[in-house]
Amino acid sequence: MIAIIDYGLGNLGSIANMLKVIGEKSVITSDPEKIKNADKLILPGVGAFDAGMTQLSERGLISILQEETMQKGKPILGICLGMQLLGRKSEEGTLPGLGLIPFDNIRFRIDPESGLKVPHMGWDVVRFEQSSPLLEGIEGTQRYYFVHSYHAVCDAQENCLMTCDYGYDFTAAVVKDNMMGVQFHPEKSHNFGMRLLENFARRC
């Protein structure tokens, strides 16, 4: 059973529906006991960094997520804002993140003369920077749907799972042991996203 963390932000129903299509059971919940009993966790998110951390705090979920993932080794997948919350902090806010993976989030430093706009929005191509069960069996050009103004900057290359080019190369996915996150929305990325979620459910 996969627990999709409900903290008031995110495309919860879309993620649950895609998991259902691939034959995986899930529950949308903020119940600590259901989170503890789940085999895997998905932390979605749309919105601002501090709002996300505040919502997690008000539901008493910060310490539970840290314990289940860092201490017990339960797999977790952060999506969009959910990925950013896996890090230490963000230029978007002042609150500390979950601190599960050593990275910080910064706003895009786009050259005004490039013609590119922030947020980075729409379909874009990613590059795999290392092997991972999350990417097993996935070949060819991979395109995913992005909507974000901030991106991760990892302390070490070993925590960068994917990169994407938007004015410059940025980290599009992060990983550390059982903990991983993607900046894009797999639930909006059709077959590309479906395969990635299938790998998370069955291989991670």
Among residues 68, 80, 129, 164, the one annotated as catalytic is: 80
Q: Quote the pTM value.
A: 0.97
Among residues 24, 68, 92, 187, the one annotated as catalytic is: 187
Q: Is 80 a catalytic residue?
A: yes
Task: Answer whether 76's CB lies under 8 Å from 4's CB.
Answer: no
Q: What is the pLDDT of residues 151-167, one digit of tens each?
A: 999 999 999 999 999 99
> Above 90 in pLDDT, residue 120?
yes
Domain that residue 161 falls in: 2-203
Q: Is 160 a catalytic residue?
A: no
Which pLDDT does position 10 carry in this prediction?
83
Which pLDDT does position 109 carry in this prediction?
96
Domain CATH for 176: 3.40.50.880
Percent of the chain with pLDDT strictly greater than 70: 100
Quote the number of domains for the chain: 1
Among residues 120, 148, 151, 185, the one annotated as catalytic is: 185
> Cβ contacts of residue 139 below 8 Å, gap of 6+?
none
Q: Is 91 a catalytic residue?
A: no
> Above 90 in pLDDT, residue 11?
no
Read off the amino acid at residue 79: I
